[in-house]
Chains A and B, each alone.
Chain A
Amino acid sequence: MTSSIEPPRILEARDVSLSFTHGHGGATARAVDGVSLSLAPGRTLALVGESGCGKSTLARILLGLITPDNGQVRLRDTPIDYSTASLKEMRRQVQLVLQDPLGSLNPRHTVYAAVAEGLRIHGGADDESRRVHDALASAGLRPPETFYRRYPRQLSGGQRQRVVIAGALVLQPQVLIADEPVSSLDASVRGEILSLLVSLRQERQLALLLVTHDLGAAWSIADDIAVMYLGRIVETGPTEVVVREPKHPYTRALLAVARASRRIPAELLPGEPPDPTRIPSGCRFHPRCPLLSSGEIDGTPCKEEDPRLRAISVQHSVACHYPE
């Protein structure tokens, strides 16, 4: 092991891009457009943005479920070559938790079968029942034996999401990618699942990627934030820094909406969520940018030049010609 100031990276995307084309001769959507990010053990990164910003596509690239057009995904500093063996190793190490637990679980499989499935796919284990038991306990379903024979419909929404998380934990992965893990859950249950994610990151030193539109959830559990807009990361840094001193006007708009109340209504961005088939020239945020529309800035570079993500302090980076 080398010792360096750089945090160790388990999973990393290096300058990945991916486009989708609609049908024959349809418009091409640049869903992910040159993104780099890395996950470290015992740390949580929140990837936040509106629908269509490419955050779920990026998550699927990191899982090896889709192959990027350009760039590399590296697992413990080895590039994934998308061979069967390399993907199998990837799927053992990197696990996914989705939004809707009912959709992730087979209604005709018991809790035990659902959790053991991953083990069986990966060649089985001599101590299967012990590992299922431990995974359920780690996911907060205690005593685990009482859940073995139950079916998804006999569980509450929070319990189902815990079963999904247990199924992800049973292979003892190093990375957990959670795509909107609490969006479909009731308010009183959200906190429980978020607490579980916090404790897993601490106790198992998991690297966690939280994909969400919810800045509140990001503030609750993430060490770092990356804000995504139209296929790019436009701002990234430690959560406290990004929330307290947001530099990108888009980050500020998202924060204002999340904090709005009747006394302090947020100033809203005009227009519909952006369309990845029609990415504006220059800075892709410029047609909706409040700095530009208020005339606070000259704005010529915004219309002409695509700003790159650049560091403004040791850990804080922003892609804006006029970072505040």
Chain B
Amino acid sequence: MSLVSLRNVELAFDSSSGPLHILRGVTLDVQEGEVVGIAGESGCGKTTLASTILRLQPPTARLSGGVMVNGVDVNQMAWGDVRALRWAVGSVVFQGALHSLNPVQTIGQQIMEPMLIHGTQPSPSLARHTAQELLVEVGVPITRFGAYPHQLSGGQRQRVVIAMAMACRPQLVIADEPTTALDVMVQAQVLEVLLNLVRSHNMSMLFISHDLSVLAQVADRIAVMYAGRIIEEGTTSQVLEHPLHPYTRALVDAFPVIGDPRHRFAPASLSGEPPVPGRYGVGCAFAPRCPASEDQCTQAEPTLLGTMDHRVACFVTGGRE
């Protein structure tokens, strides 16, 4: 059984000018101990998709399809079970560490808090002990236990947020652009810490990023989203080294290979603009920007086809290299 299993998830909001279809039939599994990367641009629905796993979608959202965690549909759960689901089964690391931390509480208290609320550590002294261990594991000096967020550097704050997410030893960590706001070198350090923790505790991770070069470093599998759908999915090496979908190819090319003469003075560019989130017409949503588009692409929407190692939703490139 998969830890997380999304089955044909559709999510829409009502707006004054008609419904906005944010997710349009997403099927995805996360196995135990697996790191799955979700790639895509702003507005493609990747954060919304992740939010459904912990039932964090806004109450105004209309959702259909199955969101199963450990075989239980999270949208059928009693409220008490949802509380347990958040933090204890799955936790989230967001992009801006400063916004995830309470400015008037010490970082030590903040790492202890989820353990005490969820009762994963029976006493404050045990919670304190575990929090101190976590701080060491993420590479923040233990002397900073009583420090306030503003006294830490950006990289240290993000490490504290990671320690909080690990506090209840969840089965799943959802990392939503966790390193985007950080500097190159600090970004690499934070990634290393996160990945080591996930591996050493045999956790699963859903890692959301627009940056394929980051996903290349962390993910076992990658799902590429466009306009509320997964348009390509497979093992990291298949997706990055043999991308099939023209959109994935464009994304891969957007990150030049440093030192490759073919990428000198020839930045890859994709014509057109990303679609307006939630408003997609008939046919493949990528067709208006697609260099390989054919007549059939504007008439029907392709489905994700292929093997478990590599699937793609494209009439033109689907099934061949």
Which residues does A use to contact B, with CB under 8 Å? 50-51, 156-159, 186-192, 194-195, 198, 213, 215-217, 219-221, 239-240, 243-244, 253-255, 257-262, 265-266, 268-269, 272-273
Contacts and interface: CB of A to CB of B under 8 A. Distances in A.
Contact of A220 (B153, B251, B267, B273): B267
B265 A187 contact: no
A187 B41 contact: yes
Interface string B260-273: 00011111111101
Nearest to A266: B188
A101 to B, nearest CB: 14
Given A50-B184, A190-B267, A265 B258 contact: no
Contacts of B264: 219-220, 239-240
A259 B42 contact: no
Contacts of B269: 191-192, 194-195
B216 A262 contact: yes
Interface in B209-264: 210-213, 216-219, 236, 247, 250-251, 253-256, 258-259, 263-264
Contact of B210 (A186, A219, A262): A186
Contacts of A186: 41-42, 210, 274
Residue among A158, A159, A219, A240 with max Cβ neighbours from chain B (10 Å):
A219
B192 interface: yes
B186 interface: yes
A188 B270 contact: yes
Which interface residue of B188, B255, B258 has the most chain A CB atoms within 10 A?
B258
B258 A191 contact: no
Contacts of B33: none
Nearest to A52: B183
Given A198-B265, A198-B267, A220-B263, A259 B185 contact: no
B256 A188 contact: no
A152 to B, nearest CB: 14
A260 B217 CA distance: 7
A293 to B, nearest CB: 15
Nearest to A265: B217
